[in-house]
Structure 1
């Protein structure tokens, strides 16, 4: 009986290493739970809630759900089902922005209430911006480490996705008449 148990355990261990190799995942549910706990006002309350969530096994269940289900979904589909709905405040050059993670991109709002969406189309591998009811393509990621950047004047520019390629693109835009006119 013991020999059979160890044989089955060894087979499961080997299968797990093959199935879950390079599949650590982002542990989105566990991180979201922990970040919620960190938003509580008082460090003593944080600590009490932390211990309570370990005793009740909320953290254990969230980690188990991440390991068995959510990280597997993220690995096979490329999408993390937990990421949608996360809202963060981000300090930018022109003030603080509210950034909400959506299923297909981001919603960004400035302090004046103006907002825009960055939308990702998985089929065409394209990012677009949507603001005031208008939509415009920004970039299309191509195979082989290249991208097509859609310029405001209607043109397109191929860019190599490397430090050198991005630097060359940036320099060409800074020297263009469009950028100078803006």
Structure 2
């Protein structure tokens, strides 16, 4: 009787772990797949690598299902998904490249001329700010009703919804009611 109860409890515990609706991001599997797709510039060689390393996909998938997606479900973040400390080069609208480094609480952007701008998230205030030359300026904060309180360049603030209409309202407020469109 005791062995039967122990087996039943074990099966129930394993079932809870596997069936807790934790469809996660499958970060380990996807990272390995992305690497495999760009391992070389030859798609045929990449296919050979895929065939030879296919057991890695199984191991990565099982690790994601049993461990990493479960952690992501219960904690809200996947330990493998962190990009903290990584830097990417991003082309700006001006055609120049900027270095964007991911921080624990935001981003550090290094301009082509060497200047640095920080975009920082304040969890306590639920807001994003810009820090440049030691001066901190709040960009926006989230409101409890799902809107945001945007801080305009002139210091005024306005509540806007997070949709096309809200973006249009902020754009009109920043540009003094003038909106240019080009073809």
* Structure 2 residue ranges without an equivalent (≥5): 179-183
Aligned to 2:49: 49
Give, in angstroms, the shift of residue 6 of structure 1: 9.8
Matched residues in 1 for 2:154 and 2:121: separation?
Answer: 21
When the two structures are aligned, how many residues end up with a matched partner?
171
Aligned to 2:181: none
Question: 1:22-171 residue pairs with structure 2 within 5 A?
Answer: 23-43=22-42, 44-55=44-55, 57=56, 59-81=57-79, 82-85=81-84, 86-95=86-95, 96-171=97-172
Matched residues in 2 for 1:118 and 1:15: separation?
Answer: 38
TM-score by length of 1: 0.69
Provide closer, same or farther for how the CA distance between residues 140 and 171 of structure 1 changes in structure 2, counting only shifts above 3 A: same
Matched residues in 2 for 1:146 and 1:39: separation?
Answer: 40
Give, in angstroms, the shift of residue 74 of structure 1: 3.1
Moved more, 164-173 or 75-84: 75-84
Give, in angstroms, the shift of residue 147 of structure 1: 0.8
Contact 1:126 / 1:141 at 8 angstroms: preserved in 2?
Answer: yes
Across the aligned residues of Structure 1 and Structure 2, the Cα RMSD in angstroms comes to 3.4
Matched residues in 1 for 2:142 and 2:152: separation?
Answer: 15
Matched residues in 2 for 1:83 and 1:106: separation?
Answer: 13
TM-score by length of 2: 0.69
Provide closer, same or farther for how the CA distance between residues 15 and 36 of structure 1 changes in structure 2, counting only shifts above 3 A: closer
